[in-house]
């Protein structure tokens, strides 16, 4: 099989090539680098290659593209799905009080506010009760004292940690897979 490849002249290191075929206009150009001053030159090289198996071709393409083997690609795709589900859970917030059906935000800005509130809970200048709006501002909770702030904060932290840690556990299952079928069999039950 004859295969044609086009390269830019700048793709070759200066010391590895002296003669380049430039096509119909000029049969062969011999140069001493860097006497060619073109921005780019299309170079056509024709050579014979033996046709490899499809598996070999897939491995070559995947390695060239930096994606690794088909198994590596499948693992990354499954891990991305797990990350997407984790983000969905975070976007849904945490429930407080537990089993109440009322959710509060776990967005990055909310996490910062919750941490600040928790750190200031015992300060004398903090006035109670503190009213904290729910995720979609459909309701609010009144935190009457430092103990309630602590309970609210720890519920948020526990919920967030569960979302992250459960995703990591599922990704550990994916990392342990040795075949694509095993990767496809991993289910995110969250």
8 A C-beta contact, residue 156 and residue 94: yes
From the CB of residue 156, how many other CB atoms can be counted at a distance below 10 Å? 22
Checking if the pLDDT of 20 tops 90, the result is no
Question: In the chain, where do the E strands start and end?
Answer: 2-8, 19-20, 29-30, 42-48, 94-95, 103-104, 130-133, 140-143
Q: What is the pLDDT of residues 60-106, one digit of tens each?
A: 666 666 666 889 889 999 999 999 999 999 999 999 998 999 999 99
pTM score, two decimals?
0.61
Q: How far is Cα 120 from Cα 64, in angstroms, rounded to an integer?
A: 53
Between 20 and 137, residue with greater pLDDT = 137
The domain locations on the chain are 2-51, 59-185
């Amino acid at each position: 099989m004859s295969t044609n490849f086009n390269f830019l002249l700048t793709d070759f290191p200066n010391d590895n090539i002296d003669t380049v075929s430039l096509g119909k206009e000029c049969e062969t150009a011999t140069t001493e680098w860097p006497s060619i001053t073109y921005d780019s030159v299309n170079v056509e090289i024709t050579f014979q290659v033996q046709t490899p198996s499809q598996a070999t071709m897939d491995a070559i393409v995947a390695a060239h593209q930096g994606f690794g083997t088909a198994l590596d690609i499948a693992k990354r795709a499954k891990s991305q799905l797990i990350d997407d589900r984790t983000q969905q859970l975070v976007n849904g917030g945490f429930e407080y009080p537990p089993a109440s059906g009322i959710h509060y935000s776990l967005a990055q800005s909310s996490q910062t506010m919750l941490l600040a509130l928790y750190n200031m809970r015992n300060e004398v200048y903090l006035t109670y009760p503190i009213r904290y709006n729910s995720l979609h501002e459909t309701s609010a909770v009144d935190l009457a004292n430092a103990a309630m702030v602590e309970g609210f904060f720890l519920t948020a932290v526990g919920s967030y940690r569960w979302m992250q840690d459960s995703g990591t556990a599922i990704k550990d299952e994916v990392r342990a897979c040795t075949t694509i079928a095993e990767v496809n069999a991993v289910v995110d039950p969250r």
